[in-house]
Amino acid sequence: MFVVTKVGGRHSRYAGAIRFAKPLLRVLVRSRPQLRSAVVRARTATVSYNFRPYDLRRAVEGSRRRLCLDQLDGLLLHSPSLETLRDPEIHEFLAELLHRGWTAHVGASVKSLPEVEAALSIPAITILQMPLEVSNALLGTAVIEHIRKRNIGVFVREIFAGVRLGTCSPQEAISAAIAPDFVTAAIIGVSTRRHLNESLSVRL
């Protein structure tokens, strides 16, 4: 088991209300697919970001305490901006975490190809999380060789778009996500018992 925790993003008090409304929102999105992007934007708006090293350090200490671990398996910056990824203080902070032994691996959860490239400028980074579409955009680029050379773990997320559209099965989606040799693992998010059972039944 490899547990990854994220720091830098914090949910507002409205996040609980959105979680409570999820069953109704799910029904609305099924009947009106065009609402999906609006729901995603509303959920994203409940998160505020703070990448000041002092506050990040407190967040890491809190995660270690709650998980009852001296050393975290992996720690990711949660959706940092390009400016944050290029900040020397952030580079030093991540190196410090490894030096202190507070986490075995550090990295970033990114959303775009420029953010992947900026994250790779951080010497301490050993793991990256990214959407499947960004992972696919890396194919045939020099970035992949950089990832391979540094033995960086790549975790892909948001892999079930085709399943939602009915163009592929969960097994096909997972197989396609992990097919590239630079991909370490696919993150499977489930929102219903049926989704969980389908994912557990996958044989690769």
Residue corresponding to tokens 């959706």: 79
Q: Cα angle at 151 between 149 and 154, to 5 degrees? A: 120
> Would strands 103-109 and 72-78 be described as parallel, antiparallel, or unpaired?
parallel
At 38, is the pLDDT very low, low, confident or very high (cuts 50, 70, 90)?
low
Query: How many beta carbons lie within 10 A of that of residue 17, not counting itself?
Result: 10
Mean pLDDT on 197-203: 73
- Residue 175 CB-density burial (10 A; 0-12 exposed, 13-18 middle, 19+ buried): middle
Q: Is pLDDT at 136 greater than 80 in this prediction?
A: yes
**Would the pTM count as exceeding 0.85?**
no
Higher confidence at residue 133 or residue 27? 133
| Cβ within 8 Å of residue 11, ≥6 positions away | 46, 47
| Cβ within 8 Å of residue 92, ≥6 positions away | 53
Q: Is pLDDT at 43 greater than 60 in this prediction?
A: no
Q: Is pLDDT at 50 greater than 80 in this prediction?
A: yes
What does the mean pLDDT of the chain come to? 86
> Does 3.30.565.10 match the CATH number of domain 4-200?
no
**How much is the pLDDT for 116?**
97
Q: Is pLDDT at 200 greater than 80 in this prediction?
A: no
At 23, is the pLDDT very low, low, confident or very high (cuts 50, 70, 90)?
low
- Asked if 64 and 102 touch (Cβ cutoff 8 Å), the reply is yes
Q: Is pLDDT at 16 greater than 60 in this prediction?
A: no
**How much is the pLDDT for 198?**
73
- What is the rounded radius of gyration, in angstroms, for the C-alpha atoms of the chain? 18
Distance CA 85, CA 114 (A): 10
- Asked if 171 and 143 touch (Cβ cutoff 8 Å), the reply is no
Task: Please give the C-alpha separations between residue 83 and each of 51, 91, 108, in angstroms, as whole numbers.
Answer: 11, 12, 13
Two tokens, residue 148: 């391979």
**How much is the pLDDT for 168?**
87
DSSP state of 48: E
Mean pLDDT on 95-118: 97
Half-sphere exposure of 169 (CA within 13 A, CB side): 11
Higher confidence at residue 168 or residue 36? 168
Q: What is the residue type of 84?
A: T
Higher confidence at residue 156 or residue 175? 156
- Asked if 76 and 110 touch (Cβ cutoff 8 Å), the reply is no
End-to-end CA distance of the chain: 19
